[in-house]
Amino acid sequence: MGTKERRILEKQRRRAEILNAARRIFRENGFKNSTMPGIAKTLELAPGTLYLYFPSKETLYLELLLEGYDVLINKLRGAAALPDSASDKASVMIDVFLEFAHDSPEHFDVIFFMAQRESGSLRNSGFEGSQIEQIAARENECKRIIAAVIDGMSPDRGHTEGSGFNPDAEVVWSLLAGLVTFWRMETEDHRRTVTERAKDIILSYYSRHSQK
């Protein structure tokens, strides 16, 4: 391996170390209380070195945010691509969303809770317009996949004409995210019971509409 290749690998390794450390620090301290100097100190880096990789805290957080969305998008796409009925796809889709929240809580928190909880929205957290657009594009892709599965169960309940907005996808997205919030305040038995009930409600509702 030549010098150039080694340098590229070293940069990739360092970048991965920064992201892993930042993911942990953001989750422990929150978005507002996490700082670039603090992250650099944890990694035993000079702050200037950290800024060479990520020019701001928002840029670093954005990288983690998009990373988490990409993981979730791939899982949702896998459910939507199954050669099953629309109802079975919807069931798997709900399962993979909840599995993502359970198995990758650091990704889930970055997407749904961290910066938003502290300031009300990402727009109030110092992110630039172009960064907000990137985030919105990922979220809309998740909802597009959900909408396609829902439309397969109940074709007459498609998105609002010309807008791309699907109120049913918004409801399912919000319900599942809220369900995860409930998880964190309740016992295992309550979590299981409420999760199974929420899934039954979603699937039975759209199944009824598909039969009309």
Q: Full-prediction pTM beyond 0.85?
A: no
Are both 105 and 185 inside the same structural domain?
A: yes
Are both 5 and 88 inside the same structural domain?
A: no
Are both 46 and 110 inside the same structural domain?
A: no
Are both 79 and 10 inside the same structural domain?
A: no
Show the DSSP H helices in the chain as ranges: 3-29, 36-42, 47-53, 57-80, 86-103, 105-112, 114-119, 129-153, 167-183, 188-210
- Please tell me the total count of domains within the chain: 2
Q: How far apart are CA 158 and CA 124, in angstroms?
A: 32
The CATH number of residue 116's host domain is: 1.10.357.10
Domain end among 55, 70, 99: 55
At 163 the pLDDT is 52
Do residues 175 and 201 touch, judged by C-beta distance below 8 A? no
Q: How far apart are CA 66 and CA 99, in angstroms?
A: 18
At 161 the pLDDT is 44
Domain end among 11, 28, 55: 55
Do residues 112 and 180 touch, judged by C-beta distance below 8 A? yes
Q: How far apart are CA 84 and CA 164, in angstroms?
A: 25
Domain end among 55, 77, 92: 55
Q: Residue-wise pLDDT tens for the chain (212 aa)?
A: 778 788 888 899 999 999 999 998 988 888 888 999 999 999 999 999 999 999 999 999 999 999 999 999 999 999 999 988 888 898 999 999 999 998 998 888 888 876 666 555 666 667 888 988 998 899 999 999 998 888 877 655 555 444 567 888 888 898 898 888 888 777 888 888 888 888 888 888 777 655 44
Domain span at residue 135? 57-210
At 123 the pLDDT is 65
Are both 74 and 97 inside the same structural domain?
A: yes
Are both 106 and 63 inside the same structural domain?
A: yes
Are both 146 and 76 inside the same structural domain?
A: yes
| 118: number of Cβ within 10 Å | 13
Instruction: State whether residue 116 is helix, strand or coil.
Output: helix
At 212 the pLDDT is 47
At 138 the pLDDT is 92
Are both 85 and 162 inside the same structural domain?
A: yes
The string of DSSP letters for 76-98 reads HHHHHTSSS-HHHHHHHHHHHHH
Are both 152 and 141 inside the same structural domain?
A: yes
At 117 the pLDDT is 60
